[in-house]
Amino acid sequence: MSQPYLISKWMDPLFGIFVGTYGYYLYEKEHRPRGRSLRELALRKWNKQAVSQQSMKN
């Protein structure tokens, strides 16, 4: 018995990726407090690692 698809065999995964990405975008834009977005958290982590690597070199 073949599996049922919402749209088609190839469009279902693309639709899932689109919905997930859009949901993530909305969460980042609306529900995260200022200063806590993924971009800001990643930059903070990156800067922290860069400082620790420079202190190890000196």
pLDDT digits (tens, 9 = 90+) for 1-58: 677 877 888 899 999 999 999 998 888 777 777 778 788 888 999 988 888 877 877 6
**4 within a domain of the structure (yes/no):** no
Print the domain residue range for 24. 11-57
**3 within a domain of the structure (yes/no):** no
Task: Domain count for the chain, please give it.
Answer: 1
* pLDDT, position 58: 66
Neighbour-count burial for 21-55, b at 16+ CB within 10 Å, e otherwise: eeeeeeeeeeeeeeeeeeeeeeeeeeeeeeeeeee
